[in-house]
With several copies, the nearest count.
Chain A
Amino acid sequence: MAIYSDTVMEHFTNPRNVGEIENADGVGEVGNPVCGDMMTFYIKVDDGRLSDVKFKTFGCGAAIAVSSMVSEMAKGKTIEEALKISRNDVAEELGGLPTQKMHCSNLGADALHKAIEDYLSKKGQS
């Protein structure tokens, strides 16, 4: 589809890291099906690094590609590094997103950060 870059289309068509992690160390959910986009991120943390990242996404092509890209970018990073991944970084890595998709579908980084926060708050409690 002409509205998307080749990278977006590639990630949409072959999304990386789709799935759930059983007994994940952190889970983050953002969005809402009423608005059209909803993402759940699952992370596994080993030695302060994201040893595994998986996601499930309900939403448009951009939302799926964003999730896939975020999961790839985050995997293997330290928690600090992963927290620095921004919406813009993701859009850039994807070779750009259509303007109207920047806000509603570009929630992947938020979902990842939420999953990390979930992990951190669980860790804090234990």
Chain B
Amino acid sequence: MRAVYLDHYAASPLPEEVQESMLPFLAGSFGNPSSLHRWGDDAKTAVEESREKVAALIGANPEEIIFTSNGTEANNLAIKGMIAGSRRKGKHIVISGIEHFSVMNPAKSLEKQGYDLVTVPADEYGVVDLDELAAALDDETALLSIMTANGEIGTIQPIREIAAIAMEKGVPFHTDAIAAAGHIPIDIAALGVQAMSIASDGMYGPKGAGALWIKKGIRLIPLLDGGVQEGGRRGGTENVAAIVGMGTAAQLARERMGERSEYLRGLRDALIVGLPDRLEHINLTGHLKQRLPWNASFVVEFIEGEGMLLFLDAQGVAVSSGSACTSRALKGSHVLAACGIPPERAQGSILFSFGPENNMEDVEYVLDVFPPIVERLRQMSPLYAKFMKERG
């Protein structure tokens, strides 16, 4: 049976170059970057070279990069650390309704501690409402955090415009670029943001590394207190192998971004056009144009996500869904809800996320096997039966 992996949003195979670059640091070059001897030197040099590569991807100064263990840690460090370090008098935190849990939940934790959390809505395409955003920002605002792009629905936000509004109101602006970095060009200077989270596994790098870029001069209270690693802003022995892998991934992303995204867009569009051609009552989620190149997300009416995943898995196809039943927390996607998709329709969420090793045959395979699965589940669905009866 064909194996078609279309869940790159959750995890991706590592390019050969990334794997190769990591292996020495699991074998002979096992040193601790803090050590004063040749083993330490090797590790330290590798970490600093990786820092330069990661910085280069977003146009940052390497000294302003803090390595973390993943994207969630970068977001927690940004939200909690910038708030704790803030010299602003206000106690408002402003985020959007489509943020990832790793931004939303730290903000909610702060809310429990007495901060005010203001959530700006998005439109049906997942684009944050700029008027509401501007209205939400004032002297009381200690931090604004809006993601660069949402991985679930693919929508890319107008970060530059948002940064301009934040700048005008004098509000520090953090953006979660974890789903975007490595896939669309990002230049922190041109964007005008003050902090940005990125993650290794979001750009074909290994799990176990993430980074927060934070502009010099912005105060940050560490989350992991300990040694003086990362300039005292993140204690603990560095995961050298993962950091090196992230550096290689960042370099490959810089070199191949144009080519990769053109290729992925081709596959993605074939699915975005092909599926509604073969299936009724299936709708694209997110924005059609302002969209991550690898993302093809839909809601399929009258059925639920887990059933689709199980039947697709049986056919060798791996995808994900934002339905309540597929989430371990048993809650439907708050992102789809923020786009105004009613809960019963959000149950039919399905996300095909492409990667460089996919090809057009994978798309054709999905176009072949997926419609019968939907038909089959609809044949079992009382909602579909009702709909058909009503339609007559």
Contact = CB atoms under 8 A, between A and B. Distances in A.
Contacts of A29: 382
B interface residue count range (under 10 / 10 to 19 / 20 to 34 / 35 or more) = 20 to 34
B381 A60 contact: no
Contacts of B268: none
Interface stretch (A12-20, A87-95, A112-120): A12-20
B37 interface: yes
B99 interface: no
Contacts of A58: 302-304, 347, 380-383
Interface string B24-68: 000000000000110001001100000000000000000000000
B332 interface: yes
Q: Is the interface of B mostly helix, strand, loop or mixed?
A: helix
Contacts of A64: 307, 380
A100 B330 contact: yes
Contacts of B177: none
B79 interface: no
Contact of B383 (A20, A33, A60): A33
Given A36-B330, A60-B304, A15 B347 contact: no
Interface in A35-85: 35-40, 56-64
B304 A1 contact: no
A59 B325 contact: yes
Determine which residue in A36, A37, A62 has the highest number of CB atoms from chain B within 10 A of its CB, and name it.
Answer: A36
Contacts of B347: 33, 36, 58
Interface in B293-314: 302-307, 309-311, 313-314
Given A33-B344, A34-B344, A100-B330, A18 B325 contact: no
A68 to B, nearest CB: 9
B219 to A, nearest CB: 21
Contacts of A104: 325, 330
Contact of A1 (B37, B328, B379, B383): B37
Nearest to B328: A100
A38 B382 contact: yes
B194 interface: no
A106 interface: no
Given A1-B41, A61-B307, A40 B325 contact: no
Nearest to A9: B310
Contacts of A63: 304, 325
B318 to A, nearest CB: 11
Contacts, number: 81
A92 to B, nearest CB: 21
Nearest to B325: A60
A57 B330 contact: no
B371 interface: no
B216 to A, nearest CB: 16
A20 B302 CA distance: 17
B324 interface: yes
A1 B36 contact: yes
B106 interface: no
B70 to A, nearest CB: 23
Given A36-B325, A36-B330, A59-B304, A2 B44 contact: yes
B10 interface: no
A25 to B, nearest CB: 18
B13 interface: no
Nearest to B311: A13
Interface in B342-392: 342-344, 347, 379-383, 385
A15 B325 contact: no
Contacts of A100: 328, 330
Given A2-B45, A3-B36, A38 B383 contact: yes
Interface of B: 36-37, 41, 44-45, 302-307, 309-311, 313-314, 323-326, 328, 330, 332, 342-344, 347, 379-383, 385
15 contacts: A1-B41, A1-B313, A3-B36, A13-B311, A29-B382, A33-B343, A36-B304, A56-B381, A57-B380, A58-B304, A58-B347, A58-B380, A59-B304, A60-B323, A61-B306
Given A33-B344, A56-B380, 11 more contacts: A1-B37, A35-B343, A36-B332, A37-B304, A37-B325, A38-B382, A40-B382, A56-B385, A59-B304, A59-B325, A104-B325
- The 10 closest A-B CB pairs, nearest first, are A60-B325, A33-B344, A60-B306, A56-B382, A2-B41, A36-B324, A40-B382, A34-B343, A58-B381, A61-B310
